[in-house]
Amino acid sequence: MTKQDDSHAVNIPYPTRRYAWFVVGVLILASLIAFIDRQVVAIVVEPMKVDLDISDTEIGWLYGVFAIFYAAAALPIAAAADKRSRKHIIAIGIFFWSLMTMACGLTRGYWEVFLARIGVGVGEATLSPSTTSLIGDYFPRDDIPLALSIFQIGPIAGSGVAFIIGGLVLGIVQSAEPLVLPIVGTLVPWQQTFLYVGAPGIVLAFFFLGIREPVRRPSPTAADDGSQGMAELIAFYRTHARTLTLHHLGFVSLVLTGYAFVFWSVTFLVRIHGEPAAEASTTFGWIFLIFGPLGPVFVAWIARRLSARGHGDANITAGMIGGLLTLPAVLLLQLAPDAFWAYVLYAPALLAVNSPFGIAAGALPVITPPHLRARVAAVYMLAGSTGMMFGPPLAGAFNDHLFPGPDGVRYSMITMTSIFGLIGVVLLWFARKPYAQSLTLTSDMEADAVEETVPATVSP
């Protein structure tokens, strides 16, 4: 590409804001379905334990194995997303993870469910890196954190809807006639729940093919030969090592706390407060749906206010504030005297627990060259998946071994939040200054690169 061509590419106009936000809306719907399929296993813990004769730790690993393969698939998928059609990658992913969710309902043993959950993880790994890359080409730099924070409404609302729909479906199928399929045979209620919640994604996969792929923006800091290899990604991480290490580890600690908390919440209501599983799931889901999405929006608003006042560390500081709110909110909930007060206290707890995660993703593209955004998002997914991987099974192991008995889930949550929530807040505190330095460095490098590509104007 010549300098003149490069100058033209750098100034490619963005799509209309209306269409850009429409695409964000469709991506929110995709992530909503992804989280329904991801979270449904948390709704059917008790019936699965009985039918499959497994422990809390084994149940937790049904989420953990999802996270392992979700992370393992992220980097190769992200490399493809940095070069190929992102809408096609997402559409294939939606179709595959929905199919694997339905497969969970057709299984007969623990290891069959385990393998199907691997497929769900691989399919869902397509969404986050491709979305980060898409949004980076739909919005100007200053709007990217807000757009990605709004996108996080999908996963959060998806979790709420998962518990609502899962609870409703579980309640319906528990009182309905058994479902008998040819070859497969009779499906018990928890199996039917997987089958029904997985089906809508098949339809969405075909709808997603109609989305317009935006013009891919070349990076003014990319190598002249177009190289987009692993060496460039490693060089970027070396340049911003302190920023990215503290960002990833800080938010991962909060992810671990959040996923453990959400995964075991229905079980907490069943075991501690004697609520029926279907009722607990539905009520918890409505609270999640109403209050959970407010967290990322609130934190994104804080970040924009801080940024407008000239704080280069605005994105990290806002995420740290979300982590600080999580600690007292989750711990106070564990002291609820009855189910009514538990439901009341879930409102601030779910707002706080979900608040850091939109800005966690949104903080990265603004310090990352466009041609590396999908892969940096994938590396963060790889790091963040350790929170998903170990949060639910670690809490399950605490339930089984450290705090056995019906009340154990309460003390497991107190322990997990006190340790990992506090670690996350401290790490983000130390990430503030290096993040501001990285933002300045990236902005200066891109400004210099753009200046070099624009031909000088010669006076007549």
Question: To which residue do tokens 């979790």 refer?
Answer: 159
Higher pLDDT, 387 or 276: 276
**In a domain? residue 121:** yes
CA–CA dist 304, 145 (Å, integer): 9
Segment holding 84, helix H or strand E: none
Question: To which residue do tokens 């098949």 refer?
Answer: 202
**In a domain? residue 457:** no
**In a domain? residue 5:** no
How many beta carbons lie within 10 A of that of residue 32, not counting itself? 23
Name the residue among 287, 402, 272 with its Cα closest to residue 353. 287
How many beta carbons lie within 10 A of that of residue 404, not counting itself? 11
**In a domain? residue 452:** no
Angle of helix 241-263 versus helix 373-397 axis, rounded to 10: 40
**In a domain? residue 301:** yes
**In a domain? residue 454:** no
Higher pLDDT, 294 or 190: 294
Higher pLDDT, 369 or 157: 369
Radius of gyration of the chain (CA): 22
**In a domain? residue 433:** yes
Over range 280-303, report the average pLDDT. Answer: 90
**What local confidence, expressed as pLDDT, does residue 455 receive?**
52
12 pLDDT more than 80: no
**pLDDT 10s digits, 171-194:** 777 776 777 788 777 888 888 888
**What local confidence, expressed as pLDDT, does residue 378 receive?**
78
Phi, psi torsion values for 158, nearest 5 degrees:
-60, -40
**What local confidence, expressed as pLDDT, does residue 459 receive?**
41
Q: HEC string of 211-253?
A: CCCCCCCCCCCCCCCCCCCHHHHHHHHHHCHHHHHHHHHHHHH
**pLDDT 10s digits, 272-290:** 999 988 889 889 999 998 9
**What local confidence, expressed as pLDDT, does residue 224 receive?**
42
CA distances from 186 to 40, 52, 180, 349 (A): 20, 15, 4, 39
CA–CA dist 155, 147 (Å, integer): 14
The residue range of the domain holding 398 is 14-214+230-447
221 pLDDT more than 80: no
Lowest mean pLDDT among 7-16, 75-84, 155-164, 392-401: 7-16
**In a domain? residue 456:** no
**What local confidence, expressed as pLDDT, does residue 244 receive?**
94
**What local confidence, expressed as pLDDT, does residue 430 receive?**
96
Q: How many residues does the chain have?
A: 460
CA distances from 265 to 118, 275, 395 (A): 23, 11, 11
**What local confidence, expressed as pLDDT, does residue 103 receive?**
93
**What local confidence, expressed as pLDDT, does residue 460 receive?**
39
Most confident of 16-30, 79-93, 247-261, 352-366: 247-261
Instruction: Note the helical H segments in 125-240.
Output: 127-138, 144-151, 153-175, 189-208, 230-239
Q: What is the CATH number of the domain that holds 165?
A: 1.20.1250.20
Q: How many domains does the chain have?
A: 1
**What local confidence, expressed as pLDDT, does residue 307 receive?**
87
Q: Which two tokens stand for residue 394?
A: 């670690």
Q: Measure the CA dihedral 148/151/155/161, to 10°.
A: 160
Average pLDDT of every residue of the chain: 84
**pLDDT 10s digits, 142-166:** 777 778 777 877 777 777 887 887 7
Residue 289 burial by Cβ neighbours in a 10 Å radius (0-12, 13-18, 19+): buried
